[in-house]
Structure 1
Amino acid sequence: MAGSTTKTVFEIFQTMDYGPSSSSFSTAQSWLEQQGGSLGLFLEGKFSRPADRQTRSVTDSTGRVVCSLICAVEEDVSGCASSAAKSFKGWSELSCHQRAQPLLRLANALQRHSQCVTELCELSQSPCSPASLVRLAQFYASWAQLRDTLIQDWVPRGVVAVVASDDCSLYSLWLKVLPALALGNTVVVVPGMPTAPSSLLLAQLFGEAGLPAGVLNVITGSDVSLGAKVAQNSNTAYVTFTGTRQDGEALCRQTAGWGVPVSVSLPLDSVCPYIIFESADIDSAVDGVMEAVFKKRKECQWVLYVQESVLESVVARLRLRLAGMKNIALQSEAHRALVDTAVQEAAGQGATIIQPCSPPPSGALYPPTLLCGVAPACPAVVCPAPGPVLPLLTFRGPGEGVTLGNHSPHGQAASIWTEDLTLALETMKSLCVGCVWVNSHSVSDPSLSISGRKSSGNCTDGGREGLYQFLRPSDSSPLPRSSPTTLDYAGFGVAAAKASVPEGFDPSSIPRSYSHFVAGRGCKADSGCSRAVLSPEGAVLAHCPDGGRKDVRNAVEAAIKAQAGWMKKSPSARAQSLYSLAGLVAQKKQPLAASIQTQTGVSLEQANQEVELSVSKLYEWAARCDKDVCGVPLLPQSGSALSISDPVGVIGVVLPDSKPLLPLISLLGAAVAMGNAVVMVPSEKYPLPALEFIQTLQSSDIPGGLVSIITGSRDQLTHAVANHSVIQAVWYWGSMEGCQFLQHTCSSPLKRLWLHCEGEDEKASEGKLWTLPHPSLMEDMWRQAVAWKSVWIPTA
């Protein structure tokens, strides 16, 4: 044809622009019109629109208003929690089959209305595949059917509040809602603004699927403070949060002291390593980088680590793939300012910037950006800005690559690329993250459990392991509900100990001076101070060290060194050490029993029974070392997966007064058997049995530093344990003030908390609880001592 020009296919693709969206959103808009453009609260199985409530608008990507949402007030929160509490008894007492049916019918409803769900998610800027929601409903329907068969002696918690921040995805939110319902809890959902319309639609579909009224409630508000109000309601038994670190910390602090346990998952602020080894298929690895990093919406930030021998090849391919790419839309101009600052700061520190085009002068747009040659301490690596920016670092050998991958304070997930299976498995074991994708990235399925590690969360979601956060052992007691006291968090536990005044001298009964156990040896307190150990009659039995912050720091430094080698020991080797320790405790039965009798005033027979139970517990934990429950989840797609339990790390244990020896040995066995190190604070009132036990530890082959026992003021040592950044978990038996302090303080740095209030009237029953042979109580201890890691290995 005259005047025509011949173009290659490559040139045609280079000049093509994005076409108009194929969706008209007509189905979603019809549903919104049915609701009058204003979505109410979902209470008692129907929509409720209370009068005189403030509203907030949900907008689409162009800024156009999609709908308005009601901001709930205290009255709405109270009504919602009361409705859930009234429905709990009937819902939890249904048979497993009866609870499974609404979830199965929800899966069918989602398939029928998939177009409406998809459009509504797109309109409200919270994209989510209906197929993934269908998979969630079907997976947890099967667990609802099998709960009593496969999870015996555990009971639902009650009313569960599921809270999300604005940036949280719909999938992450309902990954918590559906298992809570499946196990017999009732749920109050507090979604973020973008996920609120879709959550209200799913609640309506759930009601149509036959879910009893009041079992699922959805309330909306202006920010995460609404979730705190739900948590503070006396009917709420448990709170779980997913979203950003800032909102998670705020929720933990606002709920401290209310007697409700709170767990958080923080995937949105997590920094995940993407490691390319020289043995990788470079083209596939680079394709994965482009898919994972340079897209509009992502739930985590990535840092690319490349082995030096293949650096030039990787950078050349990335440069080619970036060429011709267009600017990517950010969520707001505020995010654009953060990205600009991060890129300029990295450039000022010597990084090379690779971009397909220059950033536009203004607006919420930014080009895909590769930062080469950044330092590990650069802010763009430690805390990447929210945008299409990828820092790139190099490493020489696999060991250095793992070290850099673990350098981040986060531990959500990692992607590793290598064709060497041995290297893949070794790297997978060494990375301190909740999920590892081998030659893949961002794969999700409810059968895969993910435990947030370090600052990425303190609970497990997905898989069988993720179910237990919504259950408790049938013979255990939850924290008593209360109102928080006025507490000076900075001054808690820092008051100086009262100095003892000499009251005379009796040469016939000179009290013995004990040492506490730090770094594998007996030593005095760093302060040089000691405190008197008293008998029930008030006589001075002995003197023990008055430990403090410096002693805890010394113990943690020793624990870090010892735990690294201990966790690498074979389970059978760990078992032999615990068997040996149990034998030594049995040989020391008489002095241990005598110390219990002298300190507490119980009969010698009762003291002997406590020692015998302690020996039995150690044997149980030794036997369990190599009976660890790991698995191979069955997946609905090609590939293989592993579910592996890892030790938590260094655990701080503050022990109760009710039994001075049995809890110490039971919890020590649980932690050490799973590969952890422990810093233990024995009963402040009855420390003598723990001090006698130190001699047994010194004679054992437990590595020095793996177990430390520090005597002193409970509150002072709790303060030191809570504020040490290396300690990953705190197990606490003590006052409600101590529980409140830990909930407030351990939100940053984030720790796993296992809290128990030991009031005067509870001590007798708590003492009996340690002697119960109930298997679920042992399993609860074991689950507190492990974190779960899932490994995804794709196949052709």
Structure 2
Amino acid sequence: MKGDESGAETKQPEAAWLDSHGRTFGHFIDGKWLKPGGRESHASRNPATGEHLAATTQGTSEDLDAAVEAAAKAFESWSRLPGHVRARHLYNAEQLSMEGSIPAIHSQFPAFGDTPLGLHPPGNTVVINPAGPTRLSALLLAEACTQAGLPAGVLNVVTGDGALGEALAIHPGIKQVAFAGDAEVARALRRATAGTGTKLTLQLGGKSPFVVFESADLDSAVEGVVDATGWGGGGVGQWNPGLFLSRGAGAQLLIQESVVGDFTHRLKRRMGQLRVGDALDKAVDLGALADEAQRGLLEGYVEEARAEGAEIFQAWAAFPSGNPYYPPTLITGVETSSRCVREEISGPVLVVLTFRTPKEAVTLANNTPYGLAASVWTETLPLALEVAHILQVGTVWVNGHNMFDAASAFGGYKEIGYGRDGGKEGLYDYVRPVWETPPRPSVGEMNYKSFGVSYGANVPPIPGKDGIPLSVMSALGKNVPSVDRTYKLYYGGAQKRPDAMCSRPVLDHAGKIMAYVADGNAKDIRNAVEAAHKAAPGWARRAAHARAQIVYYLAENLELRRVEVASRLAALTGASSEDALHEVDLSVQRLFHWAAYSDKYGGAVQETPLYGAALLCREPVGVVGVVCPDDSPLLSFVSLLAPAIARGNAVVMVASECSPLPALDFYQVLDTSDVPGGVVNIITGGREHLSRVLAEHQDVQAVWYFGTQEGSKFIEWASAGNLKQTWVNYGAERHWADPTQGSGEEFLHHATQCKSIWLPMGETFAN
């Protein structure tokens, strides 16, 4: 287990820093220490030895108010500094940490260190509520940054438990929340911040598939497993959940059947050579558990797998009890339905599954709600690239694992959260368009159970009653009525009757009935989502140039019907003929604009220290639900539809409740423009009822909502179910005719998700 060599660091710098503060810490607010009286304390201990390091303070709402006030005050000056001046401050802080002035207390700060430093460059100020085991590191960083010249109030640290963190998230002075941690806590934060206008980014835990093909260098792959699982983490307290969750250290091993015996034999031998010990010993491979509760969780997984008939291998069967370590454990022969396969295991426990073909490997790897990262091990480059493209994760390492750099975007897909750390993509969530006023909706308490739950709750006007005129006469004669036109729904590439067989009238600007539209319900939304899911994979795989040609074709066919569409638009909205024609022309322009972007936003090469290539690939989000506004009914519909499908998504469009006809006239444009069935699906009916069904649907990856404040709040609240991405307007109007507001870069940001693919090269020419 252990050798004679020791790479232990001296503990004198840490001890001296702790002693200088009397081993009792308050908060770090406005560039100075704050030790309020009458507060509870939390003991920080070395998990390897149980040694008491220091006591930190349990913060209160008053402490949060002070920190947020300090950050708001500092923001006024910090955000106005030239970018170069802020860069100098960050450079000085970076040099201080690189020169070793920040010792490795627990060495766990990297779990969240990227987040606050990622906030500073755009000019934001920060209040951190660190996890329990990382409090000392956060306090040390704040003090060190201040010593490096960072202005007071830019970086503030308030220590406390999870309840304090939730209070910070919903504080009215907070505009953005970045969270790394447990999925259930993330769901609670999403619900707590719903409708407040506070932006939220999430980096959650999960299993990272480690896929070993028969063409892999098996010895290198074994070392990769050690790195991926944290067994060779340099004794950095690897099994603290903070570091584990932030860096995707947990892995699930997928091995091709032809080499499973050879590979597991090599892996078991390597497991027996691991070293355990104190986190500050650089020669140590495996650090201590965070606490005894973690041991109980690990033993529960292992014993449950054993009871199911799995084979359990532990590197040190006679591992002494009563110590803070857990033996590296390999579980084989387990079913995919087992809990140890389905759930994240935060500890040195590795589960092995086998596969026969690459397709089976990808199916197993993607059969999970997680999507943080994966590694692919093969010497066959075409296979590696194809698998990397198909894996539903935010980062793929080829013949390597746990490679990170600040220039490369890191984040997850699916229920791993949204938002990115690193690269240009890591800054998007911390800035806003210059035209946008920070939303501060005034929506109070609302009944989530009743919102939009009733089908047909908003009773449509009935002809002949309530002053609603009957259908107008036709041009054939005074006593010859016009033919009522009833629009159907559109999904799966065809017009469909609504499930409830109900329609609702649409009134023109004068209050007369202009047409009838289908009154869609939950079943219609489910049918549309199913059609979108069938179409989405093929549409995403279609060449970008081919998608562009189809969107151009949409523009051509809309242009052919320019006068007809404008005439109906003018009759519906009361706009002048010139204004209606202008809206149609702008809609054609939008289609041209996004058609051009179909093949011009695919990604980039990220400049990292890697000897090789770190690719950034922008991929479709998947199935996107879009709830359209009532204003500019044609232009807003096209402005939301075009970027989504141009970037490879399939959409379920909920047309404007008041003015749905321009969207429904688009049926014939779609049918004559070679759009594959299911790529565009259009549902009409009560906006709030249909929005509720979309937001609660577990197979919808994102919802764009442009409606009321109440609706925006519900969409964000309901999205916590599968942590789907949301884009809402909080009831604010958007000027769709404006090029920036109606076709800005934020549309691309919401229509795509980025994947980083790391491709190391050989060493033939490395020197």
Q: Tell me the TM-score normalized by structure 2.
A: 0.90
Is residue 261 of structure 1 aligned with residue 199 of structure 2? Answer: yes
- The alpha carbon displacement at 1:666 in A equals 1.2
- Within a 5 Å distance, the mapping from 1:391-790 to structure 2 comes to 391-482=351-442, 484-498=443-457, 503=464, 508-758=481-731, 762-763=732-733, 766=734, 769-774=735-740, 778-790=744-756
Residue number in structure 2 paired with 1:56: 42
Name the SS of the counterpart of 1:455 in structure 2.
Answer: helix
Does 2:183 align with 1:234?
Answer: no
Amino acid at match of 2:45: T
CA distance in 1, matches of 2:432, 2:742: 9
Per-residue CA shift, 1:77-123, capped at 9, x if unaligned? 222222222222221111111111111111222234x1x52342x2x
Q: 1:172 to 1:446 in 2, by over 3 A?
A: farther
**Match of 2:346, SS?**
coil
Report the residue type matching 1:43 in the other structure.
I
Question: Could you tell me how far apart the structure 1 residues matched to 2:13 and 2:320 are?
Answer: 35
**Which shifted more, 627-636 or 774-783?**
774-783
596-605 or 271-280: which moved more?
596-605
Q: Return 601-610 or 781-790, whichever deviates more.
A: 601-610
**Structure 1 contact 273–305 (Cα < 8 Å) conserved:** yes
- Gaps of at least 5 residues in structure 1 are 1-13, 129-169
Distance in structure 2 (CA, Å) of the matches to 1:776 and 1:549: 30
Give yes or no for contact 2:13–2:103 (8 Å, CA) kept in 1: no
**Map of 2:123 onto structure 1:** 184
3-state DSSP of counterpart to 2:435: coil
Aligned to 2:160: 221
What do residues 269-326 of structure 1 show as CA deviations (whole Å, max 9, x unaligned)?
2111000001101111112112322524344321111111111211221232234667
**Aligned equivalents of 2:309, 2:530: Cα separation in 1:** 35
Partners in 1 of 2:23 and 2:335 — Cα distance? 50
Give CA deviations for 1:603-623 in whole Å, capped at 9, x if unaligned.
221111111111000001111
| 8 Å Cα contact 2:519/2:685 also seen in 1 | yes
CA contact 1:234–1:481 (8 Å) conserved in 2: no
Amino acid at match of 1:770: W
Determine the C-alpha separation between the residues in 1 that align with 2:660 and 2:703.
Answer: 19
The letter of the residue matching 2:425 is: E
| Larger mean Cα displacement after TM superposition, 226-235 or 440-449 | 226-235
Deviation at 1:236, TM superposition (A): 1.9
Name whichever of 329-338 and 390-399 sits farther off: 329-338
Seen in structure 2, the aligned counterparts of structure 1 residues 630 and 636 have a Cα distance that, compared at 3 Å, is same
Report the 3-state secondary structure (helix = DSSP H, G, I; strand = E; otherwise coil) of the residue aligned with 1:241: strand
Moved more, 71-80 or 317-326: 317-326
Partner of 1:313 in structure 2?
262
- Determine if contact 1:473/1:776 at 8 Å carries over to the other structure: no
Aligned residue number for residue 40 of structure 1: 26
Q: What is the CA–CA distance in structure 1 between the aligned matches of 2:719 and 2:542, rounded to whole Å?
A: 30
Q: How big is the shift at 1:477?
A: 3.3
For 2:252, the equivalent position in structure 1 comes to: 303
> For 1:373-400, what per-residue CA distance to the aligned partner results, in whole angstroms no more than 9, with x for missing partners?
2222221111043222211111111111
Alignment of 1:103-118 (within 5 A): 103-112=90-99, 114=100, 117-118=102-103
Contact kept in structure 2, 1:592 and 1:693, CA below 8 Å: no
Corresponding residue for residue 340 of structure 2: 380
Kindly indicate whether the alpha-carbon contact (under 8 Å) linking 1:83 and 1:214 is maintained by their aligned counterparts in 2. yes
- Which residue in 1 is equivalent to 2:84? 97
Equivalent residue in structure 2 for 1:343, among 302, 309, 322: 302
The alignment-based identity, stated in percent, is: 40
SS of 2:605's equivalent? coil
How many angstroms does 1:663 deviate by? 1.5
Structure 1 counterpart of 2:760, which letter? Answer: P
Deviation at 1:23, TM superposition (A): 3.5
TM-superposed CA distance for 1:742, in Å, is 1.9
Number of residue equivalences: 723
The 1-side partners of 2:70 and 2:743 are apart by 31
Q: 1:75 — aligned with what? A: 62
CA distance in 1, matches of 2:201, 2:144: 28
CA distance in 1, matches of 2:417, 2:377: 25
- Partner of 1:154 in structure 2? none
Instruction: Tell me the CA shift for residue 17 of structure 1.
Output: 5.3
Per mean C-alpha deviation after superposition, the further-off stretch among 399-408 and 432-441 is 399-408
Q: Are 1:308 and 1:395, in contact at CA under 8 Å, matched by a contact in 2?
A: yes
1:286 aligns with 2:245: no
Partner SS, residue 350 of structure 1: coil
SS in 2 for 1:194: helix
C-alpha contact (below 8 Å) 2:505/2:513 kept by paired residues:
yes
Once the two structures are TM-superposed, the CA of residue 66 in structure 1 deviates from its matched residue by 1.4
For the residue of structure 2 that corresponds to 1:236, the secondary structure is coil
Query: What one-letter code is carried by the residue in structure 2 that aligns with 1:594?
Result: S
**Structure 2 Cα separation of the partners of residues 543 and 757 of structure 1:** 29
Counterpart code for 1:227: G
- Mapped to 2, the partners of 1:392 and 1:399 lie a distance apart of 17
1:211 to 129, 134, 150: 150
Deviation for aligned residue 1:360: 5.8
Q: Which amino acid aligns with 1:68?
A: A
Return 5+ residue gaps in structure 2 as ranges. 232-237, 277-285, 472-479
Contact 2:713 2:730 (C-alpha < 8 Å) held by counterparts: no
**360-369 or 394-403, which moves further after superposition?**
360-369
Match of 2:208 in 1: 272
CA, structure 1 residues 282+491, in 2 after alignment: closer, same or farther (shift >3 Å)? same
Q: Answer whether contact 2:487 2:516 (CA < 8 A) is retained.
A: yes
